[in-house]
Structure 1
């Protein structure tokens, strides 16, 4: 039994820090190669295990400034009062023009920018089962020190309050289930979820 091909559409996946956006996007990448996933640029250093060009394109502040000046980013933001992140514009436009479904895994600020520039995009909020679980995941991944964790948890509280701005919410209780729900959005043809 073969599934219908993914439709050509843009879905923006956003949510609070440590909710598992990258893990869910990696599941989509591994299991559904027909869905193209944008690789963001960032000025932060790579975390252990991250690969340049796969997880992010790790670039200098000067290169980031050049992309901003040349309108080469679909969206960009300073995240957690520290590093800058952005989505290169050209690859997104090229994949959509070629009829390939595309996923942007970005932060809340970036999602708001994409909502303005590409209103046809389906905005999907990835939520944790609870704030306590989000905190447990952030501590458990062990990639940030205590100060950075506290900064990210403050940011997460603000990000969670923005859930109502999105078209649909997926609760990330289980990565495979969240991945399947996200892929179903590509295949369903639903453009907006009404309340």
Structure 2
């Protein structure tokens, strides 16, 4: 037996993907992956990740705009300098996603709830916890800046510390007994 399109023997993950395809279908089998600790998960689809990010970005823009309006209304008749007002507005651009992230340490921000995804640690699949404010800042502010930089030109090296999973499919996979690469299927198949 070999992997289709190559001469190499199938890896344990290739064999597992065949079992998962039989039980859950090819769409889930194609998105099957492992965390660094060997636990299986199903990655969120591209459209689900994009929609999740878009919803979170819209929430960010709405909250930042509301904060901007509040600052303008609060400072219109005051003696606050323009520099202080500008710094307050810049603080909103960074502070809003951090505050938004504080409420979603379980990896289920509004966008993730709507799409059925969850943001988890790539190391072991656990909740992101205290890193949630940083993750939200990266998703809403730095990610669009990265896209703009990549569009203009350049490359970025790095590794993922968080990954977006299909929460429902991953739960079904684990409930069926597909938990870890070292004991890869129900009854150790």
Shorter-chain-normalised TM-score: which range?
under 0.3
Larger Rg over CA atoms: 2
Per chain length, whose mean CA-contact separation is higher, i.e. which structure has more relative contact order (CA < 8 Å, sep 6+)? 1
**TM-score, reference length from structure 2:** 0.22
Structure (1 or 2) with the greater strand fraction: 1
The alignment's TM-score, normalised by the length of structure 1, stands at: 0.21
Larger helix fraction of residues = 2
